[in-house]
Structures are given as C-alpha cells and as structure tokens.
Amino acid sequence: MSWHTLALLVAACTPFLTAVAVFLLGEHRGTLRTATGLAGAAATAAAAVACAGSALISAPGEYAEVGFGLLEIGFVLRSDPLGVVFAVVAGCLWLVTTVYATGYMSRSSDRARFFGFFSICVGSAIGLALSANLLTFFVFYETLTLATYPLVVHSGTPAALKGGRTYLNYALPAGAALAVGVIWLHMIAGPVEFVAGGSLPSSLVQTHAGSLTAIFALLMLGLGVKAALFPLHGWLPAAMVAPAPVSALLHAVAVVKAGVFGIARVVLEVYGPLGRDLGLIPLLAAVAAFTIIFGSVRALAQDDFKKRLAYSTVSQLSYIVLGVAIGGPLAAAAAIAHLAHHAAMKITMFFTAGAVAEEVKVYRISELDGLGRRMPLTMGAFSLAAIGIVGVPPIAGFATKWLLGMGSIEAGQAWVVAVLGLSSVLNAAYFFPIIGRAWFRGPKSEWASEHGTKRVEGDLRMVAPLVLTALVGLAMGVLAGAALSPASWAQMVAFLEFGG
Amino acid sequence: MPLSEWVGAQLPALVILVPLTAAPVAFLGVRLGRPVALVSALMSQPLAIALALEVAREGVLRYEIGGWGAPLGIDFVVDGLAATMILVTSVIGLLITVYASGYFTDQDRYRFFWPLWLFLWASLHALFLSGDAFNLYVCLELVSMSAVALVALTARREALVAAMRYMLAAILGSLFYLLGVALLYAAFGSLDMATLRGAIRPDVTGQAAFALMTVGLLLKTALFPLHFWLPPAHANAPSPVSAALSALVVKGSFYILIRLWIDVGSPSVAPGTAHLLGVLGSVAIVWGSIQALRQERLKMLVAYSTVAQIGYLFLLFPLVRAGGVAAADAWTGGVFHAVSHALAKSAMFLAAGTVLARLGHDRIEGVGGLSRRAPLTAMAFGLAGVTMMGLPPSGGFVAKWQMISASVLSGEWWWAVVIVAGGLLAAGYVFRVIGRFLGREEAGDREADTGRSPRTMEWTALALALGALVLGVAGQPLLDLIPIGAPALVAGIGVTP
Amino acid sequence: MTQADLYTVAGGVLFTIGLYGLITRPHLLYKVLALNVASGGVFMVFVGVARRVPGPAPDPLPHAMVLTGIVVTVSSTAYALALAKRIFTETGMATLDSADTMEGGEDAAE
C-alpha cells in the first residue's frame, strides 16, 4: 500500500474509529477520551493534508483510490483535487473545533455521546469529500444527516427536540429525493463517477432529456436542503438550538458545505456541459442569487446572535452555488475557494457566539453593547471575520468576491456583480451594528453589573481556536495569490474542470 | 472417509440435526438448557458458513435424505436463497441465544424456552432446505407450534390470549395450505418442487391450489389485512422470542410463498395475483407504519413496524414479472430486505427487551433520557432504525436501491413511490423513540430504572444492529450468494443499460 | 360426478363449515373444534384425490399424508385445548376478548 492510499484510508476511517473509541471510553474517562479525540482529529487533519499532497503530485485521472465492490458500482474513495479541498477544510477545522469543544463542553453532560457523534459527522463529511462516485457520496451524505440529529437535540430540552424535528422534516424528505435521483440516474447512465468536466455522455441529452432534467431537479432538491437554498433553508436557523461547536463546525462547515460541495460535484463533475445544454444551470443561478439576497435580508431582522449568523450562512453558501452555476473557470474557482474562505470566517463567528454565551450568558445582539472591552480578543476575532465576510480587502471574503465578480464578467453574466454589490451592502448592514455595539457603546447588560467591565476573556481553549481561525481567514485573503492558498488551489481545480 | 469430507457431504443434514438433537437434551434438565443451547448455537455457525461457502463455490446442492431420492424419498435443495436464509438464521439465532442466557435468569420458570427455541431453530432450517410441498407443510407446523409455545412462555394473561390467537391463525393458515397441497397433487401428480417446476400450467385445479396455499401462507406471514394476530403475539412474547418471531418465523412462510410463485410456478399462473399482492404489501407498509406511529408501547411499535416491513417483501411479486434485469434486482433486493430486516428487527426487539428489563415497562413516554443510562441499547435501537428507514449505510438501503431500480426499470414507478414513502413513515416512528431516548428524563424515570441489563444483552442487540449496518456497505458477498440457482424468471438475463 | 369427486367436494364443504365456525363462535372450545372439522374436510379432500388414479387401488401417497396430517392435528388440538384451559383459569373466560381490557407489559425475567 502506497502512502497515497494510506492517507486516504486514514483520513476517511480515523474519525469513525475515533467515534467508536470515544463511545467505548464513555462518560467518565474524560481525560483519555479528550486525548483520543485530539489524537484522532490530528491524525485526520494530517492525513487530509497528505491526501491533498497526493492529489497535487498525481497526474489527472491517476489519483489514489481505495474501495471495494458494492451494487456493481463500488464503494470507492479517491483523493482528487476538488475533494481534498473539502477534506482538508473539514479535517483541519475539526482539530480546532475539538480544542474549542473541550473548553465549551467542560461542564456539560453526555460528552461521550456528543464527541462520538461529532466524530461521525466529520468522518462523513470527509468521506463524502473523498467519494469517487455518486453512490459512495450518497452513503456518506445520509450518514451525515443521521449523525447530526443527536447533536442538534443534544441538550434534550423540548426546544432542542423541536429543532431536531424541524431538521428531520427537511433532511429526510431531501434524502429521499436524492435517493430517487441517484438511483434513477444510475438506471439510465450506469455507474456515475465524478470526473472533472462531467461524466455523463453527451449522447444522453438526445435520448433522456426529460429524465435528466427531472433527475437534476431531484438531486438539487436533495442537496439544496443541506446547502440551505431558498426555500429549503428553514431547518438551519432552527438547528441553532445545538451547542456552539455543532453550529460552528457542522452548521457552518461540514453539513451545509456537504450540500454545496455535492452541488459542485453534480454540476461540474457529473452533468458538466449537459447542465447547460439542458438549460438547467440558469435556474440554479437564479435560485442561488435570490438566496444570497434573501438570507442577508432575513439576517438583518434577527436579534438572536446565532440566528443572525445562521441566515448569514444561508446567504454565503449560495455564493458557492452561484459560482458553480455561472460556469467558467474563474467563477468556479471563486466557489471552491469560498468553501474554505467562508469556513474559516464563519467558524470564527460561531466560536465567538459560543464563547460569549458561555462567558457572559449573552445570546442576543442587543445585549452585546460594550463587550469589546470585556472580551477584546474574542470580539476582535469576530470583527476581523465579519469584515472579511463583508468583503473588505485583504481578508478572505474579498478574494472570493473578486474572483466571483471577474468570473461572472468573463462568463458574460455581469448581473451577478450587482447581486454581489447589494449583498455586500447587506452583509455590512447586519454585521457592522454588531461590531459597533461591541466596541463603541458602553456596557448596559446584566453581565456588566455582575462582572464589571474588567477585561476577562473566556476559557483559553475557546479563545485560542477562534483567534487562530480568524487569522487563518486573514491569511487566506492576504496570501490569496500565493501558491497552495485556497484561491490558487481553487483556480487549479477550476482549470481541470474547464480544461483551461 | 476423513471426518472433514464426511461433514462436508452431510452439511444440509447437520444444520438441522445439531439443533434438533440439542432440543430434547435441553429438555432433560433444568440446568441443561442454557449450556446445550449455547453449544448448539456455536456449532451451527461453522456449519451454516460452510454451507454458504459450498453453495457459493459449487452452486446448487441437492441432498437425498437416506439416499432415497425424489420422487420416492424427500430431497433437500440448497440454493443461494436457502443458504442465505440458513446463514442468517444461524447468526441471529446465536445472538438471540446469548441474549436469552442473560435475559432468562429464572431458570426454573423459563426452562422450556431452551428446548422450544432449539426446536424452532431446527424447524426453520428444515423449512429452508425442503424441496417438497408436503414436507414444507410439516416444517411449517413445527415452526408454528414451537413459536406459539414460546409466545405463551410467560403465562401472563395477555401472552396466553395472544398465543391462542396466534395459534388459531397459524393452524387455519396451515389448513389452507394443506388443502392447497391436496389440490396441487390432484392437478400435477407430484409435490416435489423440482418436478412441479416443469409440470405447472394454468388450469382450474392448479389455480385453486395456488390460491388456497397463498391465503394460508399470507395468514402466516401476516400480510395486511391478515396481520391481526401478529402485533399482540410479537409484543407480548418474551423479547428474545419476539426477536425470533419477527426476524425469522414470518420469513419462513414468506420463503414458501416466493418458492411457490417465483420458483415453482410463475406469477403468470394466476394473472393479477402479483399485482394484488403488491397492492396489499403497499397498504401494509402505509398502514403498519401509521399504526406504529400511534402505539404507546415500545414493543407494540416494533411489532407494527414488522407489519409494515413485511409489506416491502410483497413488492417482489409484481416487480419480478418484467423479467430480465428488473426481476433479478427485485429478487436479490427482496431477499436482501428480508435479511436486513431480520437483523435490524431482532436488534430492535432485543433493545426493547433491555428497556423492559430495566424499567419494568415499555411505555414510550417513560423512556426519556435512556440513552444516558443505557447508551448501547439506545444505539442499537437507533442503528437498527437506519435499516427500517432504508437509509444508507444499511442493508435496508441496499435492498431498497435494488427494489427502486427494479421498479424504475420495469416502468412501474409507483412501487418506488411506495418504497420511498414507507421509508419516511418509518423515520416517523423510529425518531419518535430516538427523540425520547435523547430527551429529558421525566420525574421518576430514573428511579424506575433498575439498571438491570447485563452486558451480554446490550451487546448482542448492538451486534445485530451493526450487522444490518455493515450489510449496507460490505453486503456484496451476500448479494452474490442470493442469486445462485435463482429461478429462471429472476436469473437476470441481460445487463444493466 | 364420481364417488371420488363427491368426497372431494364434501371435504371442501366441511372445510368451509369449520372456517365458518372458527370465525363466528367466540368460545375457544368451539374454535378448536371448528378447526378440527376443517381439518377433517382437508383430509377428505386428500382421500378423494387419492382415488382419482386409474386402476383398482388408490394412490397410497395422499393416504400417507393424511396420516401425518392427523398426527399433527391431534397434537396441535391437544395443545390448543391446554392453552384454552389455561386462559380460562387465568381470566375466568374462554374467549379471545379476555385480554383486551388489560394493561400491556411483559413479565421481565427476574
């Protein structure tokens, strides 16, 4: 076994093995359990990076593969350049989140269950990132759906259970739609591999145009729920009842990006040019553009801190979908880069929301006044990420918007620039007030009277990760032009997808 | 002849003889039951595995009992289907045996569990191996009688009445079947399945025979609307028994049905029947699931889930009519569903049994927060639920993949709609329980918990659920075994486009 | 209609009578007896079928099956009666309704 396949196996299997170990260690062997979790996350992150290295030095079409037979299609993992982007993002942020969660959950109960299912979620996200075909992708996709449920309802309160039910009401029918689409596609096209530039033979357009359109709709319905495309986004704000690490890693990165990543795979690597031939792509672009604006407008109206972030996520995810749907290498590069950019920035913001909730028991934006003086590092990291999402250079969000704008002009779809402009204004409108309250107003909430305005950050295990991710977001923007930055990598992937 | 060779040649007889010999031995002494059953269960494993490997390697095996041979003697036939069923019965049987050895601590009171259970086990193996319609009747009766006795084991009132109801339904089902056998003999002059295969033609007596046998078997398989006896019997039996009944016993009569309609005859013997069975199966899926959603007791919920899951098996009949790849997919998918459901449903009943053993009741509203106190059991129930919903990764998913494929390929897409809808309904009742498990404890729930759940009980349920899960990813060997020696109709001529 | 056909048809009629009794009579003893009547019907069909072969001697195979069937029926009847008696001692009734009003639950092994 070469190191290529070993890295692949380690990246995909370690989270699941970690989960088993964590479950077996149980509630009471906390130190050993934490050590196991950290070791598993570290190994996974390293293996994911190794997969990226493997993808980098392998010739296109000769990426490392490992798998076995199932249903004449095969259960196959592969490190290809698109997949490793998501795998590295999920793997590395898992490590960071594990540290954060150790701090956040230190007084919580049911930690073995929490960390166990958390590992399964991450494993599923990495597994679906590295899936070589649609069947394997679907298996991991649904595993992710199911493993997220215990995390959403973690606290066991009626509100949490209600949030969990809402989540299932969206996720399970979506899974069913996806299943039907996937099976149907296999019936008319045989085993569906992911191949840069699309894997469906163009001859199918003549014979199966109607079926292909229906299947595309089913796939988008199934993937669109996780990607929180309007009108399938309703579960995401409801799922904010989950503990902060879940909101941070799963509902800003792993779960939601599984949806957009799936859309990217289907549009770029399954349908390819067929999507355009069938006239499906403009509709997807329109839905994504609408969702960008819609999410931002809804975010404006939220006072609940995590819900505002959730609606911001709804909006930001559609940048990725839009980039994929515009077509052309630059827009696709923007989409793929934003997968990483948004992950770093939004996870920082959710970490902040969790840290604030833990430290001063503040859950509403209207209670954030003056918090910058109390928790300067935390709020500083938040502000950096927020400015980044708005698209102020040189932070990561700017790189995305720049690429996306250029790409849309290149593809002759200049209307997208208007959407970007409007969205940026809205982003600023819902994030700047938070920054303003935190830094430029005096404290007036209860926490101030209880604790005073003394400068006290939260638990170091929570502060360090959020500062780190904020800096990573900054670095992704500043170093966007450097080799191996997400933006450069994304352009390489897009080059492969569109053949230059 | 070296021993290994002798064992190899006698495998079909040995898989029956081991539990059949163990049963009377277990009857002899109060303390004998448990060890004898465990030894028999362990011995069955290599035999069943060897039999499956033999079929995988050599193809269909024919075994002449006493060397007589059909038509005078009775033959055992082991094809992929039979080998699969025996393998599954053995694996589940072992885990149920281990679970029961922790569950029945009052050895005096439950001493008859062991011989009856071993007897049931032997009868099931005999049923799967029989290649003769009358021999199948005898096996079916043996299965039913031991199953009824097991239901009545606790001697509680509701168990007794449920056992009685079950028994009346079972005897009536057997009589219908037997009457059909008489007419089958009158019409075709033979009861050997292999001989009948060439002789079947649509005539009135033959059709009447098929109709009567089918009604009898439907009653025993508890297909809607003949399912009335199943929920009380399965829910009121001791949990290891419930597991065996839902996982294995109902599959016994279903096994005869598919032999009858797809192997010996074909759906064309009585046009319309296949559709009727498919429609009844669909109604069963919807109706059973809705009833499961409404139950207040965990074991009743699981039992109604069985009513629903049995419905999927009956979609096999309309789906195989198209022949070709669709029929082949439907065949492996249907049998795979039977296997996955057997694993997952036994896991669910065993998990429910642990809940009952701990709490002294199985009211769903009283299981709040159980995942904290009995995480393995909650996990077992949840993982088994994945197969019930037909979501990946699970054997249920692979089965549904194949059945949906078959319905798309044959152009009868409405069966796919039923399958998908059934999965969503299953999610409804599975998450109703999971939500409770993960939810808060009500006042007094914790105090009611005796904490009595031996590790063997929790782990066996989890092992079964994991088995159903593993089938969803690494089920290919089984998918290859099932079609060996499959009837011509479902042999899969042609390839997937 | 030959004599054999007559037996066959009579067997069918007996089976139907038994089925009717099983469904309509609530008392368990009646139900068990009704099943016995129905079994008798099935056996008569077998006997009728055995006579349909040409030649003076009937086909021995259905007779062998009837013998097996009788053994099965006798033992299952005995068991059903024992069960009915036990239900009567437990509930004071000999019908299937006797469990309907009861609280569910299983004796967990203690």
> Hey, is the C-beta of C22 within 8 angstroms of any chain B C-beta?
yes
Whether B376 shows a pLDDT value over 70: the answer reads yes
What is the per-residue pLDDT across B31-71, written as a single tens digit (0 to 9) for each? 888 899 999 999 999 999 999 998 988 888 888 777 766 56
Q: Cα separation of B400 and B406, whole Å?
A: 10
Give C3-94's CATH code, choosing from 1.10.287.3510, 1.10.760.10, 1.10.10.10, 3.40.50.2300.
1.10.287.3510
Confidence of residue C107 (pLDDT cuts 50, 70, 90): very low
Average pLDDT, chain A: 86
Of the given ranges (A284-298, A430-444, B66-80, C19-33), which has the lowest mean pLDDT? B66-80
Short-list A133, A148, A143, A150, CA closest to A175:
A143
Q: Do B386 and A138 touch (CB under 8 A)?
A: no
Quote the tokens at residue A27: 């509630």
Q: How far is B91 from chain C (nearest CA, A)?
A: 24
Contacts of residue A109, defined as CB under 8 A and 6 or more positions apart, other chains included, come to: A27, B372
What is the per-residue pLDDT across B450-489, written as a single tens digit (0 to 9) for each? 777 788 888 999 999 999 999 988 888 899 898 888 887 7
> Locate tokens 């403009």: which residue?
A282
* Predicted local distance difference test score (pLDDT) of residue B71: 61
pTM for the whole structure: 0.90
What is the per-residue pLDDT across A221-236, written as a single tens digit (0 to 9) for each? 999 999 888 888 888 8
Q: Cα separation of C33 and C37, whole Å?
A: 6
The number of CA neighbours under 13 Å toward the Cβ of A306 is: 24
Torsion angle of the four alpha carbons A169, A170, A175, A181, in this order, in degrees rounded to the nearest 10? 120
Separation of CA C75 from chain center: 11
Which DSSP category does B61 fall into? E
Of the given ranges (A35-44, B450-459, C21-30, C36-45), which has the lowest mean pLDDT? B450-459
Q: Cα separation of A46 and A7, whole Å?
A: 8
In chain B, residues with a C-beta closer than 8 Å to the C-beta of C107 are 154, 156, 159, 238
Query: In chain A, which residue's Cα lies nearest the Cα of B437?
Result: A156
Of the given ranges (B245-254, B389-398, B480-489), which has the lowest mean pLDDT? B480-489
Q: Cα separation of B80 and B59, whole Å?
A: 8
Whether B87 shows a pLDDT value over 90: the answer reads yes
- Residue A52 · residue A84 · CB < 8 Å: yes
Please tell me which residue, A395 or C110, carries the higher pLDDT value. A395
Q: Cα separation of B212 and B207, whole Å?
A: 9
Q: Do C106 and B356 touch (CB under 8 A)?
A: yes
> What are the extents of the domains in chain C?
3-94
* Predicted local distance difference test score (pLDDT) of residue A357: 84
- Whether there are 3 or more C-beta pairs closer than 8 Å between A and C is no
* Predicted local distance difference test score (pLDDT) of residue C110: 32
Q: How far is A299 from chain B (nearest CA, A)?
A: 30
Query: In chain C, which residue's Cα lies nearest the Cα of B298?
Result: C105
Q: What ipTM was estimated for this complex?
A: 0.90
The number of CA neighbours under 13 Å toward the Cβ of B57 is: 7
* Predicted local distance difference test score (pLDDT) of residue B6: 76
Which among B185, B239, B360 has CB closest to C62? B185
Confidence of residue A241 (pLDDT cuts 50, 70, 90): confident
In chain B, residues with a C-beta closer than 8 Å to the C-beta of A184 are 408
Q: Do A113 and B371 touch (CB under 8 A)?
A: yes
Q: Cα separation of B169 and B144, whole Å?
A: 10
| pLDDT (mean) for A19-40 | 88
Please give the share of chain A, as a percent, with pLDDT higher than 90. 18
Which among C15, C49, C91 has CB closest to B186? C49
- Residue A223 · residue A259 · CB < 8 Å: yes
Average pLDDT, chain B: 87
Q: Do B398 and A70 touch (CB under 8 A)?
A: yes
Q: Is B492 left (phi over 0), alpha (psi -120 to 50) or beta?
A: left
Quote the tokens at residue B66: 């006493």
Contacts A–B by Cβ distance under 8 A: 94
* Predicted local distance difference test score (pLDDT) of residue B309: 93
Q: Do B297 and C96 touch (CB under 8 A)?
A: no
Whether B354 shows a pLDDT value over 80: the answer reads yes
- For residue B63, the surrounding DSSP H or E stretch is strand B61-64
* Predicted local distance difference test score (pLDDT) of residue A378: 86
Separation of CA B232 from chain center: 17
Whether B381 shows a pLDDT value over 90: the answer reads yes
Confidence of residue B104 (pLDDT cuts 50, 70, 90): confident
Quote the tokens at residue B331: 């065949």
A-facing residues of B in 339-398 (CB < 8 A) are 369, 371-372, 375, 379, 386, 389, 391-393, 397-398
What is the per-residue pLDDT across A437-459, written as a single tens digit (0 to 9) for each? 888 877 776 666 665 556 677 77
Contacts of residue A428, defined as CB under 8 A and 6 or more positions apart, other chains included, come to: A390
